[in-house]
């Protein structure tokens, strides 16, 4: 039986602004895909990211261009031949995983031969702001297991130290979002070690990270904007110690699983990340999170209202969505 495909844009207002070195976000704009077949419907979500020259209109156009192949029954593997890796393919790929799960009566974890998803500690982000505001935000997070600090190059020492002083117990990721120079990376190593920072995420612009080749940091460095698909790993292994896997970069769970395998084969650690999104983006990412040393999936926690049945949250720990939300029969 032929499939049916529906794709639309959805907007989820944030409860508070989300600031990073590149700008401020107040709404999560996403693409929602539904694929139906024989009375069963699978759903997926993608978040087009301007940093990668993506937009809602562009993602919807990409999906429309692949409509004939998708409705004719293209497999997830065949999807990679007709759609580029990115948010559009992520939405379609995850919708197919969900459809296959519901049609077979088996959860995605069962089909992968993995245990059911459980509670998942996630980073909770301290958004870029004045040091005083960042410290105030951090004090409310003093008991979560992991904090992620968004910084820039204006005064990262004060930003990081203020947050750490306000929350001395949690593990910490520092994320400059490509805003540092290599000189700053070198200069700030002693501070990062002193403040017990666990991970430095993509400090340099992706096109300028050759400077990290052979560099031995005091704190592991993760590739985010530099790492998209499994084929990138070979060029990253001498620059980074960890790969941040985001389904919107890999083009879905299928590509994310391949990237996780490639990272492991290269001896690199794995982090799971996401854009600011609804729980429909987070549910498939939890599959990768189960094999990750660092998890950053707090996207839905920034929303004023998430999709019904989405992930639960308590003190920095996510619980899986309701049965039938995604990936379960």
Q: How far apart are CA 141 and CA 163, in angstroms?
A: 10
Kindly name the residue from 102, 148, 246, 249 that is annotated as catalytic: 246
Four-residue CA torsion sign, 160, 153, 201, 45: positive
The angle formed by the CA atoms of residues 89, 13 and 62, to the nearest 5 degrees, is 20
Residues forming beta bridges with residue 312, ordered by sequence position: 319
- Tell me the three-class secondary structure of the chain, residue by residue: CCCEEEEEEEEEEEEEEEEECCEEEEEEEEEEEEEEECCEEEEEEECCCHHHCCCHHHHHHHHHHCHHHHHCCCCHHHHHHHCCCCHHHHHHHHHHHHHHHHHHCCCHHHHHCCCCCCCEECCEEECCCCHHHHHHHHHCCCCCCEEEEECCCCCHHHHHHHHHHHCCCCEEEEECCCCCCHHHHHHCHHHHHHCCCCEEECCCCHHHHHHHCCCCCCCCEEECCCCCCHHHHHHHCCCCCEEEECHHHHCCHHHHHHHHHHHHHCCCEEEEECCCCCHHHHHHHHHHHCCCCEEECCHHHHECCCCCCCCEEECCEEECCCCCCCCCC
Q: Which two tokens stand for residue 318?
A: 């996510």
Kindly name the residue from 102, 150, 239, 249 that is annotated as catalytic: 150
Whether 148 sits among the annotated catalytic residues: the reply is: no
Whether 249 sits among the annotated catalytic residues: the reply is: no
Residues, the chain:
329
Q: Which two tokens stand for residue 86?
A: 């990115």
Contact in structure between 233 and 263 (CB atoms under 8 Å) = yes
**Which position has the token pair 């039938």?**
324
Residues with a catalytic annotation lie at: 150, 246
């Amino acid at each position: 039986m032929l499939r049916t495909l529906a794709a639309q844009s959805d907007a989820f207002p944030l409860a508070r602004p989300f600031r990073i070195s590149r700008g401020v976000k107040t709404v999560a704009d996403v693409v929602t895909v539904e694929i139906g077949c024989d009375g069963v419907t699978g759903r997926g979500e993608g978040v087009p990211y301007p940093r990668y020259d993506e937009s809602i209109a562009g993602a919807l156009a990409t999906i429309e261009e692949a409509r004939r192949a998708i409705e004719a029954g293209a497999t997830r593997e065949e999807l990679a031949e007709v759609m580029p890796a990115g948010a559009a393919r992520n939405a379609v790929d995850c919708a197919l995983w969900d459809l296959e799960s519901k049609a077979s009566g088996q959860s995605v974890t069962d089909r992968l031969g993995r245990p059911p998803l459980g509670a998942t500690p996630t980073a909770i982000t301290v958004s870029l702001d004045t040091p005083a505001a960042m410290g105030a935000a951090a004090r409310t997070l003093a008991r979560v297991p992991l904090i992620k600090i968004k910084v820039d190059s204006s005064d990262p020492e004060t930003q990081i130290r203020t947050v750490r002083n306000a929350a001395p117990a949690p593990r910490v990721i520092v994320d400059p979002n490509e805003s540092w120079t290599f000189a700053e990376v070198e200069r700030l190593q002693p501070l990062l070690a002193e403040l017990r920072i666990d991970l430095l995420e993509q400090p340099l612009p992706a096109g300028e990270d050759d400077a990290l080749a052979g560099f031995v940091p005091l704190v592991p460095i993760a590739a985010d904007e530099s790492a998209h698909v499994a084929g990138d790993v070979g060029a990253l292994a001498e620059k980074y110690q960890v790969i941040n896997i985001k389904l919107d970069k890999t083009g879905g769970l299928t590509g994310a699983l391949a990237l996780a395998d490639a990272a492991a084969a290269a001896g690199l650690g794995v982090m799971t990340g996401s854009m600011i999104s609804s729980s429909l983006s987070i549910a498939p990412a939890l599959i990768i999170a189960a094999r990750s040393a660092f998890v950053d999936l707090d996207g839905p926690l920034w929303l004023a209202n998430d999709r019904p049945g989405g992930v639960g949250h308590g003190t920095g720990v996510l619980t899986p969505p309701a049965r039938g939300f995604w990936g379960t029969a």
